A and B are shown apart, each in its own frame.
Chain A
Amino acid sequence: MNAFTDMQDLLQDFLTEGGELLEDVDQKLVELEKNVQDKGLLNTIFRGFHTIKGGAGFLDAPAMVELCHRTENLFDQLRSDKMTLTPEMLDVILAATGEVKRMMGEMSGRTAPQPAPAEMLEALDACLQGKTPPRKKPGSAVASAPVGMPQANPGNGEFDWGRLYHVLTGNTEDAEGKPVLLVAPTAVPSREEAAPVARAPRPVSGGAAGGNVTKDGTMRVDTARFDQILNLSGEIGMTKNRLNCLRTDLVRGVQGGDTLKTLETVLGQLDTLVSDLQSAVMNARMQPVGRVFQKYSRLARDVARTLGKDCELIIEGADTEVDKTILEELNDPLVHLVRNAVDHGLETTADREAAGKPARGTIRLAARQAGDHIIIEITDDGRGMRADVLRQKAVEKGLISIEEANTLDERGSLNLIFLPGFSTKSEISEVSGRGVGMDVVLTNIRRLKGRIDLSSKVGEGSKVTISLPLTLAILPVLMMKQGGQTFAMPLTAVREIISIDRETLQSVSGQPTLVVRGEALPVVQLADLLNRPHTGESLVGVVATTGDRAYVLAVDSFVGQDEVMIKPLEGIKPKGVTGATLSGEGVVVLVLEMHEMLQGRV
C-alpha cells in the first residue's frame, strides 16, 4: 500500500464517501423493514456493501472487507429471491452496519480496524445458510452487542444511549480528542464537550456560533459550483489588470475625463464580480439537509423499538439547502427533538389503538426555505402537551412562581419545557431524560441565530418549528451613525427608513410614539439604548421588526447598506452587540443585536 503517495487523502475520501454510502444503506434498511421484497432497495443495499468492501480492500482493512463480504453475499441471495428477509436477519444486518461504522471510526483514528465480533460473523453465516439466528429482545445482551443497535448493558437492563449517540452523531472523539471507546456507557456529551479541541480557526465566523467547520475539515462541492468560483476569480484577476493599467495612466498624468470614466466603470464591474463571487462561495457551502436528515430514520426506529412503540419518520424537503456549519450544528438539537418526539410525543401502540389512532405513529421532519430563512418542523401525531400540566410541573419544580404561571398563555406554557431543569416525566426516562434537554436545544438554536417555537393539540400531537438563517457568514446590514460612531444592524429586521419630524412625535403613556402609515409605533432612541447623551442632530428612524414587535429606532443619520462579514468579539460580550465588522474606511463597526438590545424596552 506504500505505493500510494497520498494515502491519507485517499483514506479521508473513503471515509467521507463510504460514510455517506453507509448512512444511505442504513436508511434503506429502515425502508426495507416495511417492504422486504423491494428489489430496488435490495439492489442498492447490495451495491452499498459491495462498494465499501471494494474500497476497504485497497485500504488495508481486512476486517471491514470480511464483514461487508458477508452482508453483500446475504443481499445477493435476497435480491435474487433465493432467500426472504426475516426480521431476525434484519437485526443482524443493522448490527453489522453499526459495526462497519465503528470500523470507519477506527480508521479515521489512523488505526487498522479490529475484526468484527465472532458472534456477529457467525450470525451472518447462519443467515447465509438459511438458519435463523435467535432473535434477541431489546433488553437482553445480544451477541456481539453491536454498535448502533438498541442494546442493553448486560445485567442492569439499562440501555446504552451514549454509544448510540456517538454512532448517530458521528462524534467518535471525546473532549481530549481521543477516540471514544464505543463499548463503555458514556453520558451524552454536550456540544462543547463533544467538539474536538484542536481545530483550525474558522475563517468566517457567524457571531457566537463558534464550532468547527467540519469534523474532518473537508467538504464536498459540486463541480459546476466550483467552476463558477474559478471563472469569477479569473474575471476579478482581469479586472485587477485593467485597474493596474489605469493606475499607470494616472501616474503618467493622463487624467482626462475618459480615464476617470473608465475607472468608474471598472470599479463598478469589480463590485458586481466580488458580490457574485461572494454569493458563489456561499452557494458552495450550501448542503442539502437530507444528508443529515436521512440518518434519523434509523434513530427513530431504534428508539421506538426500545420503547415498544412503532413509528415512521417521514422526511420532506430533503433538497432544501443550508450552510454547512449550520447543518452540522443542527445535528445535536435534531437528535434530541426526534428522540423526544418518539419518547414523549408518541403513545405506546396499545394506547394509540385504544385512542382510535393508527398503531404506527408518524413523525414528520420537514424543511423548507422561506426567504433568507430555513424552516424546520418536527411534527408528531402523539398525545400532545397540556398547558396546565406543564405550568403545574414548572411550579412544582420551583422554576416559576404560581403568579408567573397564572400569567402564562398557551404558548408561554408550552415554552416552559425550554427551562433548564424541566422534564415533563416524573421519572427521568432512559431515552430522553439525560439532564441535557430542551434547554440545550434552545441554546444551540439561539447560537445559530435561530428561533424555536412550539405548538400542540392535546390528543393530536405536537409541532416544533425551528427557524434559522440560511447562512451565518455574510450578512446584509444597514449602516447608521449615532454620536459620530457607526453602527450596523441586520437588514432582515429593517422594514423601511424614514425621517422623523419632531412635531409629529406623540407621547403615549410616556412612550414617544410615531404614526407610520396608520400604525402607531414606539420610538426608541439608539442613544438611550447605548446610554449616551443625545446629540440633538436631525433625527432619522429605522422602522424595524424584531420578533413580533415593530418599532422605530431613531438615529443621527444613515451611512448606507452593505454586505459584511461579522467577526465575534473575543472575550467580551456587550449586551445587544452580536459582533464587529469593518466599514469601507477601515473603521471598526459594532453590529447590533436588536432582540437583546431591546430587552426590557418597547
Chain B
Amino acid sequence: MTTEMKFLIVDDFSTMRRIVRNLLKEIGYTNADEAEDGAAALLKLKGGAFDFVVSDINMPNMNGFELLSQIKADAAIKHLPVLMVTAEAKKEDIVMAAQAGAAGYIVKPFTKATLEEKVNKIIEKMKG
C-alpha cells in the first residue's frame, strides 16, 4: 500500500522539487505531484487524494509554516503528515515546526538514505 501513496512536493525552486521527486522515486514512491508555494499546495491538497506532504519552509506568497498551520486547521486534510525541509538545522525553526504539528523535519542537503529513514518513520507512526 505504501508505494501507492501520493506525495505533494512543495518548493518554489523547481530544481529542488525535481531533486526531491527523484529521491522519492528511488526510495519507491513513484506517485508525486508538485506545487510552487503554500497557496498552490493548499488548492491541490483540497482537491484530495494526497497522503503525504514534503514542504520547503522559505517560499514567497505562503511559506511552509503558514501552509502547515492551514493544513492543520482544515478538518478534511489535517491528518496529512507534513515533512518540513529546511536549509539548516536552526533550532527555532525545528521547534516552530514541531509546535505547528509537523510530522518531522529534514535538513538540506540530504541523502536518499536520510529521506527514506524520515519518510518511513513517519509512515510507521501513522500506521501504529
Contact = CB atoms under 8 A, between A and B. Distances in A.
Interface of A: 3-6, 10, 13-14, 17-18, 21, 44, 47, 50-51, 53-55, 57-58
Given A57-B109, A58-B109, A18 B22 contact: no
Contacts of A53: 87
Interface string B8-20: 0000111110110
22 contacts: A6-B22, A10-B15, A10-B19, A13-B18, A17-B13, A17-B15, A18-B15, A44-B60, A47-B58, A47-B60, A50-B87, A51-B13, A54-B13, A54-B56, A54-B87, A54-B109, A55-B15, A57-B87, A57-B108, A58-B16, A58-B19, A58-B109
Size category of the B interface is 10 to 19
A21 B12 CA distance: 11
A80 to B, nearest CB: 12
**3 A-B pairs with least C-beta separation:** A57-B109, A13-B15, A14-B15
A3 B111 contact: yes
Given A13-B14, A13-B15, A18-B15, 7 more contacts: A3-B23, A3-B26, A10-B22, A47-B60, A54-B56, A57-B87, A58-B109
Contacts of B59: 47
Most buried by A among B15, B23, B56, B60: B15
A584 to B, nearest CB: 43
Contacts of A5: 22, 26
A18 B59 CA distance: 15
Contact of B108 (A13, A47, A54): A54
Contacts of A10: 15, 18-19, 22
Nearest to A47: B58
Contacts of A4: 19, 22
A44 B58 CA distance: 11
B112 interface: yes
Contacts of B112: 3
A51 B18 contact: no
B107 to A, nearest CB: 9
Contacts of A50: 58, 87
A51 B60 CA distance: 11
Contacts of B56: 54
A17 B19 CA distance: 13
B57 to A, nearest CB: 10
Given A47-B58, A50-B58, A55 B16 contact: yes
Contacts, number: 51
B38 to A, nearest CB: 14
Contacts of B18: 10, 13
A71 to B, nearest CB: 13
Contacts of A51: 12-13, 16, 58
Most buried by A among B13, B26, B87: B13
A57 B23 CA distance: 15
Contacts of B16: 51, 54-55, 58
A17 B14 contact: yes
A70 to B, nearest CB: 13
A57 B56 CA distance: 15
A17 B59 CA distance: 15
Nearest to B86: A54
Nearest to B57: A50
Interface in B60-115: 60, 87, 108-109, 111-112
Contacts of B14: 13, 17
Contacts of B111: 3
B9 to A, nearest CB: 14
B88 to A, nearest CB: 8
Most buried by B among A44, A51, A54, A57: A54
Contacts of B19: 4, 10, 55, 58
B35 to A, nearest CB: 13
A21 B11 CA distance: 14
Contacts of A17: 13-15
A14 B13 CA distance: 9
A381 B45 CA distance: 53
Contacts of B60: 44, 47
Contacts of B13: 17, 21, 51, 54-55
Nearest to B23: A3
Nearest to B17: A13
Contacts of B87: 50, 53-54, 57
Contacts of B15: 10, 13-14, 17-18, 55
B61 to A, nearest CB: 11
A6 B23 CA distance: 11
A11 to B, nearest CB: 9
A592 B109 CA distance: 58
Interface in B1-47: 12-16, 18-19, 22-23, 26
Nearest to A55: B15
Contacts of B58: 47, 50-51
Contacts of A18: 15
Nearest to A6: B22
A58 B16 CA distance: 9
A461 to B, nearest CB: 38
A256 B8 CA distance: 57
A47 B16 CA distance: 14
A6 B111 CA distance: 15
Nearest to A220: B14
Contacts of B108: 54, 57-58
B37 to A, nearest CB: 11
Contacts of A55: 13, 15-16, 19
A3 to B, nearest CB: 5
Nearest to A51: B13
A13 to B, nearest CB: 5
Nearest to A11: B15
B4 to A, nearest CB: 22
B122 to A, nearest CB: 21
A69 to B, nearest CB: 8
Contacts of A58: 16, 19, 108-109
